[in-house]
C-alpha cells in the first residue's frame, strides 16, 4: 500500500477526534542565534495557527492521523472498532515522521496529532506512538507542535516519555456516564481514564512547579465527550465537564456530536445528534469558564439546552428580574451576563465609561448589536421598557424564527 492510500485510511479514521488546538505551549523557534546555524526545524509562538478549514467548518492545524486503525477494542460508536469492516492500514514510525516533516516544510500544518488503535497491549501501542514523537524531536530537531493521545493503562515510564516530547497529551472520557460507557465500550474503563487524567495533572503540576524537573506536556491535557450517542442530557454532560475542569486542570473539553459513521453498529441511534446541540454545549462551556455562570444556572430551565437560542439569552429570559442594568454603573460580573455583550466589549465599556456617558451610538461603534442589548441595558439615551422586558413579545423579538436550512441539518 502506498503512502497516499494509507493516509486516506488513517486520516479518515482519525477525523472523529475534534481536538485541533495548537496553542498554549512553550515558545520555541529554530532561527540561528548569534550568527550560528539553524537549530532544527519549526517554531511555536503561543497562539495556534489553523492552516486550512474543511467544509465541515473544522480547522486543520495538525496532521491528525492514527498510527494504525487496527484495534482490539470494540467501542460501538467508533468506526475503528474491532468488529467494523473498514479497511485497515498501519504506518511505520518512519512514514509518519517523514509525512509530518514534508507537510510542515510546505507550511501545511503546525505539527502532528497522533493517536492509535490499541494493538497487542496498551504498553506496546503507547511505545509505538512515543517513538514517532521521539524521532521527530531527537533525530530531526522538530520544534513544531505535537499532540499525543495517551493510552489508559500504559506504563508510567511511557507516559513520562510521552510528556517529554509532546506539547499536549489527551485521553478521551468518551461518554459522561459510566454505565453507558460500559454498554457501548465494554473494553474501556471510566475509572482508569480518570486515574490517567489525575496522573497527567500530577506530572504537569510537578513540571511547572520545579524549574529543573523534566519537561512534561507544556500545553496541558484535554479530553473529548461524544454527544448524542447515549441518553445523557446536557446537564449531565456539563456537570461532568465542570468536574473534569476542576479536578484535572484540563485546557479543553471537546464536545463531538455523534454523527453517522460508515459501517455503523446496530446498537447506535440512527439519527445524528443536531450540530446545534454541540454548538450550544460549547457556548455553555464558555459561560462556565469565562463568564462566571454555574452549571445549575445554565441548566435551571431543564436538562437540555434550548436549541433555538444561546444559553446566555435563555438565562436572561428566565431571570428578567436581574435586568435592566445601568451600563454606567453595573459591575463587570453583571455586564458579562447581558446577552450580546462579550468579554472584550465589556472591558471596552468599563474603560470608556470613565470618560463618557455611554450612548447607543457608542455601543454601535463598538460593534454591539443594539437590538440584542437594549432590552436589558439602560443607556444615557435609552431607557428599556419594563413592559417589554416582562412580556412574551421579547422572545419573539430576540429569537429569529427557525430557518429551513437549520432543520435540514
Partner 1 sequence: MLAGPADVAGWRTAARSLLADGVPAEAVVWSTGGHGDLFAGADAGDAPACSASAPSISVPREFVELAGVGLLHSDPGRFDLFYRLLARVAANRTALGDAADPDLVRARALAKAVRRDKHKMTAFVRFREVATEAGPRFVAWFEPDHHIVEATAPFFVRRFAAMRWSILTPERSAHWDGADLMFAEGARRADAPDGDALEAVWRTYYANIFNPARLKVSAMRAEMPKKYWRNLPEASLISPMIAEAARRTSAMVAAEPPVPKKGQRLMSKPIAPLSPDGNDIDALREEVDGCRNCPLWADATQAVFGEGPDDAEVVVVGEQPGDREDIAGRPFVGPAGALFDRAAEAAGLDRSRVYVTNAVKHFKFEPRGKFRLHKSPSTSEIAACRPWLARELSTIRPRLVVAMGATAARAVIGKPVKIGEARGRLTTSAEGVEVLVTVHPSFLLRLPDEARKREEYDRFVADLGLAAPFVKAA
Region 166-195 residues binding partner 1, contact defined as CB under 8 A: 178, 187, 189, 191, 194-195
C-alpha cell at position 79? 468506526
- Helices then strands, each counted (H, E), the chain: 18, 10
Of 80 and 311, nearer to partner 1 (C-beta) is 80
Residue 154: CB minimum distance to partner 1, A: 13
Of 81 and 312, nearer to partner 1 (C-beta) is 81
Residue 15: CB minimum distance to partner 1, A: 5
Q: What whole-number distance in Å separates Cα of residue 398 and Cα of residue 375?
A: 9
Among 155, 164, 308, 352, binds partner 1 (CB under 8 A): 352
- Please tell me the chain's helix, strand, coil percentages from 3-state DSSP, rounded to the nearest 5: 40, 10, 45
Among 1, 198, 231, 388, binds partner 1 (CB under 8 A): 198
Of 56 and 210, nearer to partner 1 (C-beta) is 56
Q: Is 121 in the site for partner 1 (CB under 8 A)?
A: yes
Residue 388: CB minimum distance to partner 1, A: 25
Of 92 and 121, nearer to partner 1 (C-beta) is 121
Of 115 and 394, nearer to partner 1 (C-beta) is 115
Q: Is 233 in the site for partner 1 (CB under 8 A)?
A: no
Q: What whole-number distance in Å separates Cα of residue 75 and Cα of residue 65?
A: 19
Of 198 and 386, nearer to partner 1 (C-beta) is 198
**Peptide bond just before 324 cis, omega within 30 deg:** yes
Maximum distance among all alpha carbons in the chain? 72
Among 352, 349, 388, 393, CA closest to 368: 349
Residue 377, beta-bridge partner list: 325
Q: Is 366 in the site for partner 1 (CB under 8 A)?
A: yes
Q: Is 286 in the site for partner 1 (CB under 8 A)?
A: no
Of 16 and 286, nearer to partner 1 (C-beta) is 16
Residue 17: CB minimum distance to partner 1, A: 10
- Interacting positions 3-22 with partner 1 (CB under 8 A): 3-4, 7-9, 11-12, 14-16
Among 376, 225, 227, 222, CA closest to 307: 227
Q: Is 358 in the site for partner 1 (CB under 8 A)?
A: yes
Residue 394: CB minimum distance to partner 1, A: 27
Output b/e per residue, 79-101; b: 16+ Cβ within 10 A. bbbeebeeeebbbebebbbebbb
Amino acid at each position: 500500500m502506498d503512502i497516499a492510500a494509507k493516509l486516506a485510511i488513517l486520516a479518515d479514521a482519525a477525523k472523529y477526534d475534534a481536538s485541533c488546538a495548537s496553542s498554549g505551549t512553550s515558545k520555541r523557534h529554530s532561527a540561528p542565534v548569534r550568527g550560528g546555524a539553524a537549530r532544527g526545524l519549526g517554531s511555536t509562538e503561543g497562539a495556534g495557527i489553523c492552516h486550512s478549514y474543511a467544509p465541515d467548518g473544522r480547522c486543520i492545524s495538525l496532521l491528525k492521523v492514527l498510527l494504525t486503525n487496527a484495534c482490539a477494542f470494540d467501542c460501538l460508536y467508533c468506526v475503528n472498532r474491532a468488529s467494523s469492516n473498514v479497511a485497515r492500514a498501519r504506518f511505520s514510525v518512519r512514514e509518519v515522521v517523514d509525512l509530518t516533516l514534508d507537510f510542515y516544510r510546505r507550511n501545511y500544518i503546525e505539527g502532528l496529532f497522533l493517536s492509535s488503535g490499541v494493538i497487542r497491549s496498551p504498553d506496546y501501542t503507547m511505545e509505538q506512538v512515543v517513538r514517532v514523537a521521539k524521532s521527530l524531536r531527537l533525530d530531526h530537531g522538530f520544534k513544531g507542535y505535537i499532540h499525543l493521545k495517551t493510552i489508559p493503562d500504559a506504563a508510567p515510564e511511557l507516559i513520562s516519555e510521552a510528556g517529554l516530547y509532546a506539547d499536549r497529551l489527551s485521553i478521551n472520557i468518551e461518554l459522561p456516564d459510566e454505565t453507558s460507557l460500559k454498554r457501548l465500550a465494554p473494553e474501556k474503563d471510566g475509572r482508569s481514564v480518570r486515574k490517567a487524567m489525575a496522573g497527567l495533572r500530577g506530572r504537569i503540576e510537578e513540571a511547572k512547579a520545579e524549574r529543573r524537573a523534566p519537561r512534561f506536556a507544556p500545553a496541558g491535557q484535554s479530553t473529548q465527550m461524544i454527544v448524542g450517542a447515549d441518553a445523557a442530557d446536557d446537564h449531565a454532560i456539563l456537570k461532568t465537564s465542570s468536574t473534569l475542569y476542576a479536578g484535572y486542570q484540563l485546557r479543553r473539553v471537546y464536545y463531538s456530536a455523534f454523527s453517522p459513521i460508515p459501517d455503523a453498529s446496530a446498537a447506535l441511534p440512527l439519527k445524528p445528534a443536531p450540530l446545534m446541540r454541540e454548538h450550544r454545549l460549547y457556548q455553555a462551556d464558555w459561560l462556565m469558564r469565562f463568564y462566571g455562570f454555574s452549571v445549575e444556572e445554565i441548566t435551571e430551565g431543564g436538562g437540555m439546552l434550548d436549541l433555538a437560542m444561546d444559553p446566555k439569552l435563555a438565562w436572561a429570559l428566565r431571570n428578567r428580574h436581574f435586568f435592566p442594568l445601568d451600563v454606567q454603573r453595573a459591575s463587570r460580573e453583571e455586564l458579562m451576563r447581558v446577552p450580546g455583550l462579550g468579554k472584550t466589549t465589556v472591558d471596552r465599556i468599563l474603560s470608556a465609561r470613565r470618560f463618557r456617558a455611554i450612548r447607543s451610538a457608542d455601543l454601535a461603534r463598538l460593534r454591539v448589536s443594539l437590538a440584542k442589548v437594549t432590552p436589558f441595558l439602560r443607556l444615557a439615551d435609552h431607557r428599556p421598557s419594563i413592559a417589554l422586558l416582562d412580556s412574551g413579545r421579547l422572545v419573539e423579538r430576540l429569537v429569529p424564527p427557525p430557518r429551513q436550512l437549520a432543520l435540514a441539518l
